Amino acid sequence: MLSDVMEDYLKAIYVLQTRDGPPVSTSDIAEEVEKTSPTVTDMLSKLADRGLVDREPYTGVELTPEGEAVALEVIRHHRLLEAYLAEHLDYDWSEVHDEADRLEHHISEEFERRVAAALDDPEVDPHGDPIPGADLEPVDDDSVGLAKCSPGDRVTVTRVSDRDDEELAYLDEAGVTPGTEMEITDVAPFGMITVRTPAGEQSLPEAVANSIRVRPA
């Protein structure tokens, strides 16, 4: 049986693989799970011994099919829980991540099935993140980071990171949520990105823009 921490690492590696492609570096994993590199290296050795990751010396790691299946199951639990908390228990979208983190490792498959049925098998969570299906197949995502866009681009917000509740509150107030259509009007040399939304013009720091995924409108 895997520990909660092991599952958290597999989930983090999957997210990084999806965003940047494999292999995933130790330093990127350390930043994602907020641990030191030596701690991460020790855990990656344990995951490799269990056949859940493949390690490439001096390069990084990649999930094996077995490791990917575990990661997708945890992600499915997490995102279904976020959707349930928001839709049925009136949680704000900035509050659901931490609650789902606490619960995702401990729900049964029957509970997962009932939550999915109660939500009519949603495709995305409150932040726009795709929810893997019950078959645990990877979900295609053709979105790009807002920070990679250029002035004049018209885009639709598809996803925003759920990691920072203050950022989520800021974006909610700015009217930048999944489904919002906007135009990039300026990209400053120091990283500020200005967008025009139905709610007006907003200037977003690069760190915030990096948490937003979009596709052409």
User: What CA–CA distance (Å, rounded) separates 202 from 175?
Assistant: 9
What is the predicted pLDDT for the residue at 148? 86
Question: How high does pLDDT run on average in the chain?
Answer: 92
What are the tens digits of pLDDT across the range 172-212? Answer: 888 899 999 999 999 987 778 999 998 889 889 888 888 89
Confidence band of 33 (pLDDT split at 50, 70, 90): very high
**124 within 8 A of 178, measured Cβ to Cβ:** yes
Residue 155 has pLDDT above 80, yes or no: yes
Record the tokens describing residue 179, joined without a space. Answer: 């489904």
Q: How much is the average pLDDT of 109-124?
A: 96
- The answer to whether the predicted template modeling score (pTM) of the entire model surpasses 0.85 is yes
For residues 106 and 77, is the Cβ–Cβ distance under 8 A?
Answer: no
